[in-house]
Amino acid sequence: MTTQQSQTHKIILIALGLLVLIFGVMIFIAPAAIFPDPSWGFQVMHKMQAGGAFNITSKPDAADISKNNSEFLSWWSPGQYLAPYFFKSLFSINDGRAAAITTTLCGLLGIAGLYAFFKKVGFSKLLAAVSVSVIVIQQAFVVPYVFYNGGEVLLFGFSGWFLYGCVSFNKANWKLALFLLLSGWLGFFCKSSFLWMYGAGCLYLWLSISQKKTAVLDWIKNGIWIAIPAALSFAVIFLHYMAKGANPVGTSLGFKFSWEALAFPLASPILTGFSLDDMLNGLIVHSNAAVLNPTWSAIVLFLATVLSVVLVVRIIGIVPNKSYALLLGVFYSVSILFFGYSFLKQANISYEGRHLRMIGLLITPGVVYLVSLSKPPFKFGFGLVCLFIAFLSLMYFVPSYHQNATKNARGTSGIAQLFIDQPSLNQITELDKKNTNAIFVFVSPDLGLEINHNRYVILDPIDAEIKIDYEDYAHYGHAGPIFIMLPASYMGPKSNIIRKCFPGYKGFHMDMLSNDYVLYSAK
């Protein structure tokens, strides 16, 4: 290898590190918005700051809003708010800036971990660095700098190091047992969906360590070394966290066959490795307006499925490092089984590429390796594809960051608020300061983070069909003044429905907070 080649990987890694730091400084100055999932976690963080118990969310009891109802928040893992909580407590900063530090640190950890893993499985330093850069240009990497997405960013920071650990053991011993015990807890801390990856990692380790053994007893012994710490790790997670409340996997609408349920995880290498699902605003579940109609979405999903299977088979057959080939095969197979089964039984898991991002991370160095062996036209074409993805990611980040930094409202949390404007938020904040026994009502969970002196109720938004289950919305009783803030588009039937969901209050008074938001209040 020439001196120039040996230095190129360092230049790439330094550039990527500087990029993350620049983005980190930008969102520290003007913090990002927040996804709904971590919003619920941040609400728990506020309760804990006020002296509440670990991971307990408290809200007005729907049966009698003069009382509180407390529950253990087991739907999401605790890392999404505990990591920012640590930085918030350490540096005395607001929620937004604590999330910014979390995002930046996890970005750097993720880059370092994936680079170390790629080298560990036999790829050259240059190819490993290029592979990491291909990952960084994906929209999934940019999203946390626009919307703090909690577990997604924490899991990215941990994934590479977990994979590195999986390929570092060649025999079963106490070190392997300790790794499995701790990695199960740490991975779940980052994101609850890590559990399927944890299962895949355990299966890989068993196959990898035992594949050269011919005696059945050796396979059993290795299985015991892996099964005991894995079972102990999962038992602690289940008994002390998951079993205390509902979780997505435990919620099911019943078995229903659909070809998309199997095709979506099969297509994950293309959907997540090349940002296809993100660039199209989702093939099945749309983050914004649908880019493709259902027919074209089905065609693209079918093509992505075929290409993904061909690509995985090709990579497994050609890469020289068989540890990487086995790891890719195991994780891809387990993801198909887990998500295919979950989608078929209609578990509460959405058809979004972010759930299968691990496959995109794993496939990337294999794709780059195949390209490195190809002829110049294919290399040029791959480069153009990467530039196109990078351009779209940049076009996603720049206007979104500008929107967060200059237009979206900000309150005491520091988080960029999408569902309220600054004049309306200022008035809500003032009402919160003037009252101590009021009930605030919102249709977006992030707005609850701006209420510091009173209680609040978060209702699901009402769709255009205006069909709701009244009992899911109704809150009975009376407890001081009530302030219901709604978008101006709710004026009319929607606002009437929501006011009727609080039968303990009569004679609502309406105030226009701004051209876009309205406040209904009653004492």
DSSP-assigned states of every residue in 312-348: HHHHHHH-S-HHHHHHHHHHHHHHHHHHHHHHHTTBS
DSSP annotation of 234 reads H
Task: Show Cβ contacts of residue 161 under 8 Å, excluding neighbours closer than 6 positions.
Answer: 109, 113, 116, 117
The pTM assigned to this predicted structure is: 0.92
Contact between 316 and 362 under an 8 Å Cβ cutoff? The reply is no
Residues 10 and 158 in one domain: yes
Residue 217 lies in a domain: no
Which tokens in the block code for residue 74? 């087991």
Q: How far apart are CA 142 and CA 32, in angstroms?
A: 11
Residue type, 162: F
Residues 8 and 147 in one domain: yes
End residue of a domain, out of 328, 362, 396: 362
Q: Quick check: helix, strand or coil at residue 480?
A: coil
pLDDT of residue 5: 57
Residues 401 and 424 in one domain: no
Residue 11 lies in a domain: yes
Q: How far apart are CA 126 and CA 11, in angstroms?
A: 10
Which own/partner contact pairs does 116-122 have at CB distance under 8 Å and 24+ positions apart? 116/160, 116/161, 116/164, 117/160, 117/161, 117/163, 117/164, 117/167, 118/365, 120/164, 120/167, 120/168, 121/167, 121/321, 121/323, 121/324, 121/327, 121/365, 122/319, 122/320, 122/321, 122/323, 122/324
Q: How many CB atoms lie within 10 A of CB 230?
A: 21
Residue 215 lies in a domain: no
Residues 2 and 134 in one domain: yes
Residue 190 lies in a domain: no
Counting as low any pLDDT under 70, the low residues of the chain are 1-6, 249-252
Domain count, the chain: 3
pLDDT single digits (tens) 151-171: 999 999 999 999 999 999 999
End residue of a domain, out of 336, 362, 388: 362
End residue of a domain, out of 385, 400, 418: 418
Residues 435 and 356 in one domain: no
Residues 315 and 405 in one domain: no
pLDDT of residue 490: 92
Residues 30 and 159 in one domain: yes
Residues 299 and 385 in one domain: no
Contact between 118 and 132 under an 8 Å Cβ cutoff? The reply is yes
pLDDT of residue 249: 67
Residue 157 lies in a domain: yes
pLDDT single digits (tens) 313-335: 999 999 999 999 999 999 999 99
Residues 261 and 139 in one domain: no
Residues 320 and 407 in one domain: no
Contact between 234 and 325 under an 8 Å Cβ cutoff? The reply is no
Residue 4 lies in a domain: yes
pLDDT single digits (tens) 273-304: 998 888 888 888 877 777 888 888 899 999 99
pLDDT of residue 472: 85
* Full DSSP string of 415-451: PEESSS-HHHHHHHHHHHHH-SS-EEEESSGGGGGG-
Query: Any idea how long the chain is?
Result: 523
Residue 205 lies in a domain: no
| Strand-pair partners of 17 | none
Residues 304 and 254 in one domain: yes
Q: Which domain holds residue 485?
A: 420-522
pLDDT of residue 4: 57
Task: Show Cβ contacts of residue 223 under 8 Å, excluding neighbours closer than 6 positions.
Answer: 206, 210
Residues 16 and 124 in one domain: yes
| Strand-pair partners of 518 | 486, 512
Residue 231 lies in a domain: no
Contact between 169 and 176 under an 8 Å Cβ cutoff? The reply is yes
Q: Are strands 409-410 and 33-34 parallel, antiparallel or unpaired?
A: unpaired
pLDDT of residue 250: 64
Residue 77's nearest CA partner among 42, 39, 41, 107 is 41
